[in-house]
Structure 1
């Protein structure tokens, strides 16, 4: 499939998805944001993985220090200047997400990644290691056998075979929570609901939906991204309120007009709110071809000449004729896609056309390059 046909098929899907005029869609409040305090917290830790089949860090300094710290917990002190060979051990970083309202004794999945020269963590066991929050406090303890989705093999002649990433793995339920995070959910006389994206219209519609369900004055807009909801009582009453609010339906406001361009892949996404003003667009293509036909020249018999190559070049320039297209005032997404399809431009040229329309003030949309 050519680049042009891929572009046309992709834009056709956009038209089918958006329609000629994007209809309003209802969404649950829980899909539009989240209550303040009901969030995950990131945990990190440093540890040692042992039991590797010669694929560890060898004698890397921080792996050696980590192993010395691990064995010192059991009263074993290595003599000064003695560093253990650590081909069967590796220094690793441990990461995990602590969900909201998690309680001591519950379990977490953890990700373990090598930070040194370890080639593979396959078959390794993580030694007991603490996991810290951003405040420097220990919130969980991690330990367990790793599950590795990758494979790395080295041969005697230096050839290698690597599948996926063998230096990183996971341990299901590999950490035990030791400390709960105080979310502040049960305090105060209000709950704060934060939208995922700032939009004053959506904030108003969320507040109106809550007031219709709970009564006038139950919800007020703090700003275009936050709604304050009157709440009282204990945890049971508040959670019932949260359950009621997050399942209310709200008709989303039409999003701002945007054209998203991925400069690395050439992908272009245009939402249904995009409009194009009056503009004439043409797109040309100049092709220059150079053909080299060198000729070998032989000297005369019994002469003192030498064989030489005589260059011969042929240069040809051609330019495709592309007619100009007139964009109608306030053209819709469907009309814009139809004009682009008639021009038959590849994705790279499409980006240039959209940028030129934006510079000319004819594109009613925010052009975002990622």
Structure 2
């Protein structure tokens, strides 16, 4: 079990730049996806039972002027793949993008493969980039006489700068009279503080709060928009984060923030252990009797009531006190989750519990 905390109760405010707290509406990434084939594999491609790679190869050869019946193709050095990329804002034709290539069939490895030209589509169905290039695989898979040696995931690869943007998403800043700043975490106090800081920095009433997540920013007549946005994003403001306890039951990790407030509480934590053990014994009949040898099941039930572990947190207890107390009683990840939920129900834990 890993328990993380800051150890000291701190103030509920901190300083952060606006660019780390919010994004500008409309200035965003866009997801791209495409389907293609990887060639040049050393017999680790899709098997003959996977038909769509052969169909893709036939269509590719036909576009290149080569007509080959699909039934006559027997290759295992190609694999059907999906290609994904992220189109950043203000990308122009010719901008290079990194791409991720993932096997869509039953290929064992994409090591040594070459991605043929693949069109990347946006959510609107239009082509925004073309991808092609040699794959970089962060692992391998070797299969000899049924013995398999594998490192990481060889069915997924990257192609650095493997895509070229053919069409950008139109976004013109010139002439815009207003922008909206969208907070990553909705909070009225942070939004109000952000608007006040922007107005103080610009010397005019340029920002006003719309709701707990949105702050509108007005552009003055003739003002340079990129310069304005750069100045606004660099402003540092006070933020008021929510008090949270993050619990990951799979890894046994518990993260407790410094804004968590603890109230006096006493906790008894224990359990009843019941063990049922069954074994079989061979029973022989008495001499000169007409009985037969039998196998009889013998069952033993052991019950052990474990002593309760006691935790006491007094007035002024910190996160460090809670962490040390949990470690002292040897609490497991499941124990910690139960204890924290019990403290939340009892009103002794003033924080939101988020289980991953």
**Paired residues, number:** 355
- Are residue 52 (structure 1) and residue 48 (structure 2) matched? no
For 1:142 and 1:342, the matched residues in 2 are separated by 56
Structure 2 vs 1, CA of residues 57 and 341 (structure 1 numbering), >3 Å: closer, same or farther?
Answer: closer
Matches within 5 A, 1:121-160: 121-156=110-145, 158-160=146-148
Structure 2 vs 1, CA of residues 338 and 113 (structure 1 numbering), >3 Å: closer, same or farther?
Answer: closer
Structure 2 vs 1, CA of residues 218 and 55 (structure 1 numbering), >3 Å: closer, same or farther?
Answer: same
Which 5+ residue runs of structure 1 have no aligned equivalent?
1-5
Compute the displacement of 1:183 (Å): 2.7
RMSD: 2.9
For 1:345 and 1:221, the matched residues in 2 are separated by 45
The C-alpha deviation readout for 1:253-279, integer Å capped at 9, x for no partner, is 2x2222222232332222233334454
- Are residue 14 (structure 1) and residue 5 (structure 2) matched? yes
Compute the displacement of 1:97 (Å): 0.8
Structure 2 vs 1, CA of residues 163 and 332 (structure 1 numbering), >3 Å: closer, same or farther?
Answer: closer
The question of whether the paired residues in 2 share the 8 Å contact of 1:145 and 1:171 is answered with: yes
- Corresponding residue number in structure 1 for 2:101: 112
- Are residue 176 (structure 1) and residue 164 (structure 2) matched? yes
Which 5+ residue runs of structure 2 have no aligned equivalent?
none
Structure 2 vs 1, CA of residues 46 and 325 (structure 1 numbering), >3 Å: closer, same or farther?
Answer: closer
Structure 2 vs 1, CA of residues 148 and 305 (structure 1 numbering), >3 Å: closer, same or farther?
Answer: same
Structure 2 vs 1, CA of residues 162 and 189 (structure 1 numbering), >3 Å: closer, same or farther?
Answer: same
- Corresponding residue number in structure 2 for 1:283: 269
Q: Which moved more, 1:359-368 or 1:330-339?
A: 330-339
SS in 2 for 1:72: helix
For 1:50 and 1:299, the matched residues in 2 are separated by 74
For 1:292 and 1:25, the matched residues in 2 are separated by 60
Compute the displacement of 1:280 (Å): 3.6
Q: Which has the higher strand share?
A: 2
Among 77, 90, 102, the alignment partner of 2:67 is 77
For 2:93 and 2:298, the matched residues in 1 are separated by 82
For 2:79 and 2:310, the matched residues in 1 are separated by 64
SS in 2 for 1:104: coil
- Are residue 269 (structure 1) and residue 260 (structure 2) matched? no
Structure 2 vs 1, CA of residues 216 and 72 (structure 1 numbering), >3 Å: closer, same or farther?
Answer: same
For 1:342 and 1:50, the matched residues in 2 are separated by 58
- Are residue 246 (structure 1) and residue 236 (structure 2) matched? no
Q: Which moved more, 1:208-217 or 1:307-316?
A: 307-316
Structure 2 vs 1, CA of residues 299 and 259 (structure 1 numbering), >3 Å: closer, same or farther?
Answer: same
- Are residue 347 (structure 1) and residue 336 (structure 2) matched? no
Q: TM-score, normalised by structure 1?
A: 0.84
Structure 2 vs 1, CA of residues 57 and 279 (structure 1 numbering), >3 Å: closer, same or farther?
Answer: same
The question of whether the paired residues in 2 share the 8 Å contact of 1:43 and 1:132 is answered with: yes
The question of whether the paired residues in 1 share the 8 Å contact of 2:260 and 2:349 is answered with: yes
Structure 2 vs 1, CA of residues 216 and 284 (structure 1 numbering), >3 Å: closer, same or farther?
Answer: same
Q: Which has the higher contact order (CA 8 A, sep 6+)?
A: 2
